[in-house]
Amino acid sequence: MQPRSSDPPSGAKLAALTLGAIGVVYGDIGTSPLYALKEVFLHGKIVITPDSILGVLSMFFWTLTVIVSLKYVLLILRADNNGEGGLIAMLALASTAVKERPVLRRRLLMLGIFGTAIFFGDGVITPAISVLSAVEGLDVAAPGLNKYVIPVTLIVLTLLFAAQRYGTGLVGRFFGPICALWFLALIALGLPHIVRAPEVLWALSPHHGLAFMAQNPGVSFIALGAVVLCVTGAEALYADMGHFGKRPIRLAWFILAMPALAINYFGQGAMLLREPHKVNNPFYEMAPDWALYPLIILATCATVIASQALISAAFSVTKQAIQLGYFPRLRVTHTSVRETGQIYVPFVNWGLYVCIVLAVVAFGSSSKLAAAYGIAVTTDMLITTTMTFFVIRYGWKYPLWLCFAATGFFFVVDAMFFAANAIKILDGGWFPLAIGAVMFTLMMTWKQGRKLLSARLREEAIDLKSFLAAVFVSPPTRVEGTAVFLSAEAGSTPNALLHNLKHNKVLHEQNLFVTVRHHEVPWISFDKRVEVESLGHCCWQVTLNFGFKNEPDVPEALQLLGGRGIQLDDMETSYFLSRDIVIPTIGSGMALWREKLFASMHRNAAAAADFLNLPTNRVVELGSKVEI
């Protein structure tokens, strides 16, 4: 898969991409009206008065404007990594920008990896709270159905995760139209109530929000923890940039998503001005009785789409983390023959499912989950803003004052939202943080373990050129065909070659010593894919370069050698790999428990042959033990 064309889309293509962005990019933020406003008033900490309603609505509107419209749509979308976005892409940009500052680069890498780890906590909370809040409409339609909310939610989530193995291609084409219908429904629900109470539009003025915060500093600070729920999913704007491009995402936001969200929130506020007793679930209370059940079905579909987009993103982030060396190889299944971005990772799928089921059962309601939701969202927002500063300062070389001006305001806003959610850690915020801490530990342990393993292998390695020179003093028997020896370190003699010579006492007619390198850029084109150095005697050192969004297909990449005078016959090519068995030891490496964890991860990692798309009937694996 190659990067999207740099030509800006137009006409029918632009319309199609915009519709797709409505479904995938805005599915999460589009379902926020189900629970966001009610969480501000639900627990009785804010007295429902006209002034408080206008103040809270003003906070909602300007949060959407500042965080989404200004920060993400206008600023963050500019920080693309060869057309790609997301925290991994931002991490790659930031680390490249400060590569001359190793200490700062190391700290930014850790910060970015922690943000990626927290993303998995977000991946658990989003499907749980979204689907649960949609199904809770049953309690409004018929209070007697309340006991079925949890079972129905679990059934919907089970079907969703069971369907992942079949791919998103079939249902994906319906994402845009269904979400467009959802946004139109948001408008249809909100407008009649605004017409009945047009005074609610005064909340468009920021002074209502500022006055409310000035008059109620303590209560308004707590309210910020719920107000931020209106921008959940804002990170998807940036993460999905590579799929749709900047212009469709911006058009979808300003033409439909933003107006629909604002109208629905103001509609809920207008209804509360006239009927404050409906605060328990203002979203569903806005609907006429005849529309409740269809609305519940539509809301459930919309939340499933929002969940699907985040699940797919979790698969993509995992694959990128694997290729950047922060996660062990996992089995990755491609669910589309045309779109290599459509993948299924069974381990991640069922790991998310188990955690989501635990969250739904343990918390039991969207209100209790809301306390857990905000901390994950605000942590990633704060990290993205921090990364952006280093990108525009050291990558784009903007003046320091301009960098502070561009990111400082957003940092303060993000920090306020984070602080407001930090006080809810004991009420549920610990849950995504715990998931993030576990993922961060796994990722850093794998990265450090791989570093120790590579260092150990280098200590014991034999220089390849010197070894071949010695071998060809009295050359072994040459056999027909090509041997491809995979090696982590270019220039080192692969253990597989040593074992092959020791046990088989032969050398193939052609020998390629291949090292696969993954770079901190999303795409590397075919013209830069292969580097070749002749070692003599029909032996070559080959380096294959892949970006973290490229598919690491070694046989396909080796076919590019045909233009370099090296002809490969698939049926006459064998791939030799060394499979190292890690032995933890007490020493100067990691703590012993981390070394044991790394050894377990290394032992259970998916086979390199599968990850590199090697033909299984042409692979020979030879093992060796390595102490770290």
> What is the predicted pLDDT for the residue at 158?
93
Is the pLDDT confidence value at 233 over 50?
yes
Angle between helix axes 206-215 and 50-63 (nearest 10 degrees) is 120
Q: Select from 456, 311, 430 the least CA-distant residue to 368.
A: 430
> What is the predicted pLDDT for the residue at 539?
93
Q: Which pair of structure tokens corresponds to residue 367?
A: 């209100």
> What is the predicted pLDDT for the residue at 70?
93
Q: Select from 33, 467, 83, 434 the least CA-distant residue to 248.
A: 83
> What is the predicted pLDDT for the residue at 171?
56
pLDDT digits (tens, 9 = 90+) for 395-406: 889 999 999 998
Reduced to 3 states, what is the DSSP secondary structure of residue 473?
A: coil
Radius of gyration of the chain (CA): 27
Reported as type and span, the H/E element at residue 305 is helix 292-323
Instruction: Name the pTM for this structure.
Output: 0.83
Is the pLDDT confidence value at 169 over 60?
no
What residue type is 179 in one-letter code? C
pLDDT digits (tens, 9 = 90+) for 531-566: 999 998 899 999 999 988 888 899 999 999 987 878
Across-strand partners of 532? 542
Q: How far apart are the C-alpha atoms of 292 and 284, rounded to whole Å? A: 7
User: Which residue has better confidence, 120 or 261?
Assistant: 261
Q: Where does the pLDDT of residue 282 fall: very low under 50, low under 70, confident under 90, or very high at 90 and above? A: very high
Q: In order of start, what are the domains of the chain with their CATH numbers?
A: 11-448 (1.20.1740.10), 461-627 (no CATH)
Is the pLDDT confidence value at 622 over 80?
no
> What is the predicted pLDDT for the residue at 341?
58
Across-strand partners of 582? 626
User: Strand 530-536 vs strand 539-547: parallel, antiparallel, or unpaired?
Assistant: antiparallel
Across-strand partners of 515? 543
Report the percent of the chain where pLDDT is more than 90: 41
* Contacts of 621 by beta carbon, 8 Å cutoff, 6+ apart: 496, 576, 577, 578, 579, 607, 609
Q: How far apart are the C-alpha atoms of 610 and 362, rounded to whole Å? A: 38
Is the pLDDT confidence value at 424 over 60?
yes
Start-end of H helices in 163-203? 169-196
Average pLDDT value for the chain: 87
Is the pLDDT confidence value at 444 over 80?
yes
> What is the predicted pLDDT for the residue at 170?
53
Q: Select from 37, 118, 132 the least CA-distant residue to 381.
A: 118
Reduced to 3 states, what is the DSSP secondary structure of residue 526?
A: helix
Q: Where does the pLDDT of residue 370 fall: very low under 50, low under 70, confident under 90, or very high at 90 and above? A: confident
| Residue 244 contacts residue 17 (beta carbons within 8 Å) | yes
Is the pLDDT confidence value at 5 over 50?
no
Q: Where does the pLDDT of residue 418 fall: very low under 50, low under 70, confident under 90, or very high at 90 and above? A: very high
User: Which residue has better confidence, 499 or 400?
Assistant: 400
Report the percent of the chain where pLDDT is more than 70: 96
| Residue 325 contacts residue 95 (beta carbons within 8 Å) | no
Sort residue 519 into left (φ over 0), alpha (ψ -120 to 50) or beta.
beta
> What is the predicted pLDDT for the residue at 9?
66
> What is the predicted pLDDT for the residue at 7?
57
